[in-house]
Amino acid sequence: MTTDPKPASTATQAAQRAVMAQLPFSDRADFELAQRGLIASLPDGIIMNEGGSAMWDLTAYDFLNDAPAPDTVNPSLWRMAQLNMNNGLFKVCDRVYQLRGMDLANMTIIEGDSGLIVIDPMTTAEVARAGLDLFLTNRPAKPVVCVIYSHSHVDHYGGVMGVTTADDVAGGKVVVIAPDRFMEELAGENVLAGNAMNRRAQFQFGGLLAKGPRGQVDAGLGKVTARGRVTLIAPTQVIVAATESHDIDGVEMVFQLAPDSEAPAEMHMFLPQFGVLNLAENATRLLHNFIPLRGALARDPRIWSRHISDAMALFGEATEILIGQHHWPTWGRAEVRAYLEKQRDLYKYIHDQTVRLMNHGLTPAEISENLDLPPGLDQDWSVRGYYGTVSHDAKAVYQRYLSWYDANPANLNPLPRRDAGRKTVEYMGGGDALLERAKVDFEAGNYRWVAQVLSHLAFAEPENLECRTLLADTFEQLGYQAESATWRNAYLYGAQELRHGIVKLPPRRILSPETLTALTTDALFDFMATRLNGAKAAGLHWRIGWVFTDRDECLAMNIQNCTMTHVLDDVSADGAEDADVTVRISRAVLVDLNIRKTDVATAVAAGEMAVEGDQTIIEQLFAMLDDFTMMFDVVAPSPPLNDPE
């Protein structure tokens, strides 16, 4: 099997030429804006951890510098990939600065009267620390006095322990501010579904792809997600009103909640004394996702558009500069308004037109095929689909209103992948016949159809190397043509797994101890419940009391009908009379038990927990919790496969 990436096909070359003819590539205004205010670039373009490993490396993208788009990359995406190479410390205006191009997201720093206000400390502690160090190298040294999370996605909070410590927050030296429902939404998305999302994110961001013209070139919102230690410190102050004004170290900040927009918990920020409006991730230099390829709750673009409109009404007349937590700012009141009008209308247009077409009876695939950016927006670089696409955003709108089901009973209970694959291949006259037809369509450039039919064969005959080769080649051409960075990454990473197999990553925890420690007790037990292997709990009926020795919390757990449920504060500090067993434990030790850092017998022997009743129940409980393997099959079964037949 040939494993090297292939060149662009004739059909792909023609597709790239069509893009060049369609879009206004002579417009270079964004290149000036993206460089404006640069104070210092990231030294050498690399961030290393203490062990000498690179957590961030822009030198891998040197192929982008001042080079024309090759025929293996959509020219529009190549343009965005070049813009996202701008990196370092940038001045927005007096006292407002951004670290950009050092992670997928930006870190914004505001100079208060006595200290620094940090907005969104990026994804990992190492890159956040490097960003803060770069700032302190070029600006007067002040301590961090406030950290603000704009919303509940990991690239906007995961580096918090790079800019402050849990002790400083607990001691009141640093306040941490977040929007209402921040911890609840974080737990639902990043914790409960975290394993599956991490696997799917490999396809979305292409972090395991080689960087290059035939590999990963960008992620739309930025280059890629940084490596390192993901951390979390729970907020000490939550914004709960629709708008709230607070003086933070001499800086007036007006917070506008924007729930159920780009994230379920998100907020905008306005700085009246500077005329700066920060729309977090609700206005970026592209068409965003209504559902990211990694998965999430379907977002509501109608509400999203309204939050942008409300921000314009609240702050537009006083806004001179618009910033976000991705990409570069917009300067000038008229320019800000024009840009926000396009963003507002972009999300509302896709919403309204999808709803219109679904009320005409069109299915998600049919709507996506009939919908594109409207005249007036289709030539504007700031709404191009580098991250989301009109195609999958329209499907997200359909899902939000009508679910996954298209109302055709044939699709109500379809066969699973392997069974459907076998029957499809059989109906097509067998694998050899299917392959011959697929080769003809491949040469004709009918890549979408070839991918669809070869996927059936890949699951029916996982050992068929000719199928895997042609499917990889097909994914590759689709990736080369994609304007969306996430689509390109998904296609090219699918091709890589077909050619090389699933990467054998070293074992690592899906969730960091810091993240589990910061969760509410309620969320931590929800996480445990999703790990309970129901078959192993068959026939059991236990009631377990949990008393936490380091906080004023008690909890009753019930295991019955193969299900774990719990009620907070349903147990007194003396235990529960009807409990089969009562556990006295600190939250830290409970986290250690969940990440397998210790076990029940060891913790009891060390005096770290006390069990009143049958200790074997607690030992059996943790033995029934699944540990997830992230590298599960996606594009094809991994041969050799144990066939149940």
Domain CATH number, residue 459: 1.25.40.880
pLDDT tops 80 at residue 343: yes
**How far from the centroid of its chain's Cα atoms is residue 147's Cα?**
21
- Taking only the tens place, the pLDDT of each residue in 254-288 is 999 999 999 999 999 999 999 999 999 999 999 99
The predicted model gives 537-562 an average pLDDT of 95
pTM of the model: 0.94
Summarize the confidence of residues 391-405 as an average pLDDT.
96
- 24 phi and psi, to 5 degrees? -85, 75
Residues 110, 335: Cα–Cα separation, whole Å: 23
Contact in structure between 558 and 543 (CB atoms under 8 Å): yes
pLDDT given at position 577: 67
**Alpha helix stretches (DSSP H) within 174-228:** 182-186, 194-205
Residue 142 within any structural domain of the chain: yes
pLDDT computed for residue 2 by the predictor: 66
CATH label of the domain that carries residue 327: 3.60.15.30
Q: Residue 643's pLDDT is what?
A: 43
Residue range 282-315, pLDDT digits in tens: 999 999 999 999 998 899 999 999 999 999 999 9
Q: Are residues 264 and 344 in the same domain?
A: yes
543: three-class secondary structure by DSSP: strand
Same domain membership, residue 556 and residue 446: no
Nearest alpha carbon to residue 33 among 416, 405, 335, 389: 335
Task: Report how far residue 266's alpha carbon sits from residue 8's, in angstroms, rounded to the nearest whole number.
Answer: 41
Q: Specify the pLDDT at position 576.
A: 62
The residues that bridge with 613 in the sheet, in sequence order, are 581
Mean pLDDT of 602-615: 97
Same domain as 477, residue 527: no
Angle in degrees, CA 499, 504, 507, rounded to 5: 160
pLDDT digits (tens, 9 = 90+) for 67-126: 999 999 999 999 999 999 999 999 999 999 999 999 999 999 999 999 999 999 999 999
Separation CA 322–CA 336 (nearest Å): 6
Answer yes or no: is pLDDT of 640 > 60: no
Element (H, E) at 419: helix 417-427
d(CA 143, CA 121): 15
Domain shared by 234 and 332, yes or no: yes
- Alpha-carbon gap, residue 103 to 83, rounded angstroms: 14
**Strand pairing report for 553-560 and 542-548:** antiparallel
Domain annotation covers residue 330? yes
37-46, 290-299, 340-349: lowest mean pLDDT where? 290-299
- Residue 492 in contact with residue 209, Cβ under 8 Å? yes
Residue 507 in domain: no
Mean pLDDT, rounded, of the chain: 94
Does any domain span residue 509? no
CATH at residue 570: 3.30.1050.10
Cis ω before 640 (30° cut-off from 0): yes
Same-domain pairing of 105 and 232:
yes
Strand duo 175-179 + 237-239: pairing: parallel
Q: For residue 392, is it within any domain?
A: no
User: 468 and 563, same structural domain?
Assistant: no
Per DSSP, what are the bridge partners of residue 57?
46
Integer Cα distance of 299 and 262 in angstroms: 7
Q: What is the dihedral of CA 234, 237, 240, 246, to 10 degrees?
A: -140
Q: How confident is the model at residue 575 (pLDDT cuts 50, 70, 90)?
A: low
DSSP string, 352-393: HHHHHHHHTT--HHHHHHH--PPTTTTT-GGGS-SSS-HHHH
Omega cis (within 30) before 264 = no
Separation of alpha carbons 204 and 79, rounded Å: 19
Strands 251-257 and 54-57: unpaired
Domain count, the chain: 3
Same domain, 298 and 447: no
Who wins on pLDDT, 514 or 321? 321
| Predicted pLDDT of residue 360 | 96
Has residue 368 been placed in a domain? no
Q: How far apart (Å, rounded) are the C-alpha atoms in residues 512 and 229? A: 8
CA pair distance 151, 456, nearest whole angstrom? 39
Share of the chain above pLDDT 90, in %: 89
Task: Please answer whether residues 150 and 281 qualify as being in contact, where contact means their C-beta atoms are separated by less than 8 angstroms.
Answer: yes
Write down the pLDDT at residue 573.
62
Query: Does pLDDT of 188 surpass 50?
Result: yes
Report the distance separating Cα 335 and Cα 313, nearest Å. 15
Bridge-partner residues for 97, per DSSP? 91, 109
pLDDT at residue 639, rounded to an integer: 60
Confidence band (pLDDT; 50, 70, 90) for 514?
confident
Do 208 and 493 touch, CB atoms closer than 8 A? yes
Give the E-state strand segments of 9-78 in sequence order.
Answer: 38-40, 46-48, 54-57
Residue type, 278: N
Asked whether residue 433 is domain-assigned, the answer is yes
Does 266 lie in the same domain as 140? Answer: yes
C-alpha closest to that of 123 among 105, 144, 142:
105
Range of the domain at 564: 520-623
pLDDT at 164 exceeding the cut of 60? yes
| Whether 597 and 466 share a structural domain | no
Question: Quick one: 459 and 594 in the same domain?
Answer: no
Determine the Cα–Cα distance for residues 153 and 24; give it in Å rounded to an integer. 33
d(CA 281, CA 392): 19
Alpha-carbon distance 48 to 57, whole Å? 9
- Taking only the tens place, the pLDDT of each residue in 375-393 is 989 999 999 999 999 999 9
Same domain for 438 and 329, yes or no, is no
Helix 301-315, helix 333-359: angle, nearest 10: 160
In the listed set 481, 504, 528, which residue is the last one of a domain according to the structure? Answer: 481
pLDDT of residue 642: 41
Please enumerate in sequence order all residues whose Cβ is within 8 A of that of 642, keeping only pairs 6 or more positions apart, or say none: none
The residue-averaged pLDDT of 137-162 equals: 97
Closest to 532 (Cα-Cα) out of 627, 464, 390: 627
Distance CA 575, CA 2 (A): 64
Mean predicted confidence (pLDDT) in 550-556: 93
Residue at 202 is within a domain: yes
Residues 454 and 340 in one domain: no
Supply angle C-alpha 373, 86, 307, rounded to 5.
45
